[in-house]
Structure 1
Amino acid sequence: MTVKLLNHRADGPDSAPPLLLGPSLGTSYALWDAVAPELSAGHRVVRWDLPGHGGSAADLIGPGATVGDLAALVLDLADALGIDRFGYAGVSLGGAVGLHLAVHHPDRLTSLAVLCSSAHFGGGAAWRERAERVRREGLEWLVESADARWFTPGFTVPRLVRDHREADPEAYAACCDALAAFDLRDRLGEIAVPTLLVAGRQDPATPPAHLREIADAVPGSTLMELPGASHLAPAQCPRAVLAALRTQLDGPPSGGMRVRREVLGDAHVDRAQARQTPFTARFQDFISRYAWGEIWTDPTLSRRERSMITLTALVAHGHYDELAMHVRAARRNGLTPEEIGAVLLQTAVYCGVPAANSAFATAQRVLAELAEEEGTD
């Protein structure tokens, strides 16, 4: 018999360590859009939709559903994809699914990250009332307050609000039933998998105290609180969430990424990472590991010397956009404007006057921008 599966998206190499990402009630796997591409550079990332949300069929669950029912659907998905053990991260209801898996199926998890979630959701009455009203009236009355429940004032993600509006009311109500019945507080001490808890300090739905309660009960767990984050932290604070997950999954940031940031600056690296897609993720990972982690960290040459060589090579090949970036890097590595000018003058002899002419124009523009940024003449 064919098992009907949760709608999902998989990114990253099939041979990489699997990582499953769970959504919050009312959203789809788009909740992870700003985080999943970079995670897929080193993991087989599988994002899934709740029943009746995104592309998942509404009839996968029904009235009286439990978080255990949702966890069983996640395991069915993993089995169908040939995934035995996996890392797991989930937000809110998706985090509750992760806690259930860690308690009831510890043999399937390699790590657990619970974001903006809880071991209980404030008792069943409010959730049962919400479920009953959604079954009577649909979701529009809830969609009107989505931004206030999910984000800090002035922030929104239209795609996620649209997902909320388009969710199936019956399936949404069944998910509310699951939240109403969920309470794992007396089982948290049994969780043995490495566990990360992430709280949004301005989260009205699952305040930091809920995550602290889990952290206090789960042996060896780590708690992180994100300032400025509300309930959907992966959408509102993706860089902070990504850094936390990568540290949990891969250990502290690699020497390559550290050096890349030191030489090029956080702003440039953050822009590069924000533009990353599943198609470019492995290339970005290659750059960080090889160019910055092996070549730039080789102590044979100083960073000053490497900047001089890099400037020359970029002029020789006419890569003036890259040259602008590395003029900034050269200043960060200690070269004076006069030394940069001397390097470019040297290129006039060996790379040609037209190339050096363009290089001087680029460098002059960048140095003027730096002087203005530093407030100097």
Structure 2
Amino acid sequence: MTLLAHRAEGPPSAPPLLLGPSLGTSNALWDKVAPELSITHRVVRWDLPGHGSSAAGLIEAGATVGDLADLVLALADSLGIERFAYAGVSLGGAVGLHLAVHRPERLSSLAVICSSAHFNGAKPWQERAALVRREGLAGLAESADARWFTSGFTVPELVEDHRRADPEAYAACCDALAAFDLRDRLAEIAVPALLVAGRNDPATPPAHLREIADAVPGATLVELPGASHLAPAQCPEAVLTALRAHLGGPAGRGMEVRREVLGDAHVDRAQARQTPFTARFQDFISRYAWGEIWTDPTLSRRERSMITLTALVAHGHYDELAMHVRAARRGGLTPEEIGAVLLQSAVYCGVPAANSAFATAQRVLAEEDGTAG
């Protein structure tokens, strides 16, 4: 049996993660995301029929999203993968929704990125399929940037993939989108689900992802500012942050610990201030500081709070010190214990540093406990 072309990365023994592409692209859509995910997962990214390196004959006119889902399952079977996490963009996301409804036993989790439970009815896709069968893909490729990215941004390799796709296979994928509508089945989805929307996406705007999130029990919705339709290519760091938290790796565990130590209010404020520019740094903090260091059982959280307070005094980071005085109180340290830590710091870090630290701590303790410590 001819299989979908694919690219596998990561340890063969790691948890499997399948990545699906958008119409008109290849698995190169995931170039800035897959290598990072492959550190903790066995990543398999696949090409649509007639796209990238997949054979055009794998799909025929009148195809459905279910047909594409069957091809994905055949690929997984050939690789010995029984159950897997899945993430897909646009048409690739629709494949994930189909699997979650019709073959839930195969999925451990689902991430739907810049996609929808329906694609605005059959007519526009029937018209696009007819156009491509009649004129080929050159004209559509010329407008790919406007459909895929915000103004001034492009990924030439992906536009070239669009131009080189097989017209008949592309048209058959349009047939699949024309027939796709799972809105009345969304409530049946029981696997952990993440919905990622690009706030500037004209093809599947955030309202489409909100519709899924509202219907799927327990689903999480993330909206990415500055992202259009191909978010993994345009905002890879933000997509990575969302996927890592969803997949439950170090970033996911780290975010949980971060909330336990610092409190929901502080973390929510930090998340609200996150931008595509700062997303990678926030992911770094969640994965390494909170997901690996603070979760190490060698030291208790009380001990880590004491060490952290001392380090912040030593370097004069008094805004951070205020935050960690609050964290220390949440973790059970008394005002007397915090004072003892600062007094110890006076001996080894200097009296002026400890003097400023006592002033900061006294203010925080008064705010938190109504006492000067």
- TM exceeding 0.5: yes
Distance 1:214 1:196 in 2: 10
- Number of aligned residue pairs: give it: 303
Pick from 202, 205, 214: which aligns with 1:207?
A: 205
Distance 1:77 1:332 in 2: 53
- Look up the equivalent residue of 1:150 and give its one-letter code: W
Aligned residue in 2 for 1:374: none
Report 1:73-152 matches (<5 A): 73-152=71-150
- Look up the equivalent residue of 1:194 and give its one-letter code: P
In the TM superposition, residue 302 of structure 1 has moved relative to its aligned partner by 3.1
- Look up the equivalent residue of 1:110 and give its one-letter code: S
CA contact (8 A) 2:118 2:180 kept: yes
CA contact (8 A) 1:28 1:163 kept: yes
CA contact (8 A) 2:49 2:56 kept: yes
- Look up the equivalent residue of 1:84 and give its one-letter code: E
Please say if 1:223 is aligned against 2:228: no
Aligned residue in 2 for 1:302: 307
Pick from 189, 192, 199: which aligns with 2:190?
A: 192
CA contact (8 A) 1:117 1:210 kept: yes
- Look up the equivalent residue of 2:106 and give its one-letter code: R
Comparing 94-103 with 235-244, which one deviates more in the overlay? Answer: 235-244
Aligned residue in 2 for 1:48: 46
Distance 2:231 2:41 in 1: 21
Report 1:1-377 matches (<5 A): 3-250=1-248, 252-255=251-254, 270=280, 294=296, 299=303, 302=307
Aligned residue in 1 for 2:342: none
In the TM superposition, residue 186 of structure 1 has moved relative to its aligned partner by 1.1
Distance 1:151 1:297 in 2: 47
In the TM superposition, residue 224 of structure 1 has moved relative to its aligned partner by 1.2
For structure 2, the residue ranges without an aligned partner over 5 or more in a row are 262-269, 271-275, 321-348, 350-373
CA contact (8 A) 2:4 2:54 kept: yes
In the TM superposition, residue 13 of structure 1 has moved relative to its aligned partner by 1.0
CA contact (8 A) 2:197 2:206 kept: yes
Map Cα deviations across residues 316-352 of structure 1 (whole Å, 9 max, x no partner). Answer: xxxxxxxxxxxxx967699xxxxxxxx9xxxxxxxxx
CA contact (8 A) 1:296 1:306 kept: no
Distance 1:236 1:45 in 2: 20
For structure 1, the residue ranges without an aligned partner over 5 or more in a row are 275-284, 308-328, 335-342, 344-377
CA contact (8 A) 2:87 2:111 kept: yes
In the TM superposition, residue 306 of structure 1 has moved relative to its aligned partner by 7.4
Distance 2:11 2:181 in 1: 36
Indicate the SS of the match to 2:197.
strand
Distance 1:228 1:45 in 2: 26
Map Cα deviations across residues 57-97 of structure 1 (whole Å, 9 max, x no partner). Answer: 11100111110000000000000000001110100000000
Q: 1:253/1:106 Cα in 2 relative to 1: closer, same or farther (>3 Å)?
A: closer
Map Cα deviations across residues 216-262 of structure 1 (whole Å, 9 max, x no partner). Answer: 11111111111111100111111111111111111654449979xx9
CA contact (8 A) 1:65 1:175 kept: yes
Distance 1:269 1:25 in 2: 27
- Look up the equivalent residue of 1:31 and give its one-letter code: L
In the TM superposition, residue 303 of structure 1 has moved relative to its aligned partner by 5.2
Indicate the SS of the match to 2:168.
helix
Distance 1:239 1:153 in 2: 19
Indicate the SS of the match to 2:73.
helix
Indicate the SS of the match to 1:220.
coil
Aligned residue in 2 for 1:369: none
Percent identical among aligned pairs is 70
Q: 1:287/1:141 Cα in 2 relative to 1: closer, same or farther (>3 Å)?
A: same
TM value normalised by structure 1: 0.71
Distance 1:296 1:153 in 2: 50
Distance 2:145 2:316 in 1: 43
Distance 1:40 1:231 in 2: 23
Q: 1:210/1:294 Cα in 2 relative to 1: closer, same or farther (>3 Å)?
A: same
User: RMSD across aligned C-alpha pairs, in angstroms?
Assistant: 3.4
CA contact (8 A) 2:254 2:289 kept: no
TM value normalised by structure 2: 0.72
- Look up the equivalent residue of 2:84 and give its one-letter code: F
- Look up the equivalent residue of 1:50 and give its one-letter code: L
Indicate the SS of the match to 1:95.
helix
CA contact (8 A) 1:12 1:43 kept: yes
Indicate the SS of the match to 2:50.
coil
- Look up the equivalent residue of 1:185 and give its one-letter code: R
Indicate the SS of the match to 2:87.
strand
Distance 2:279 2:188 in 1: 40
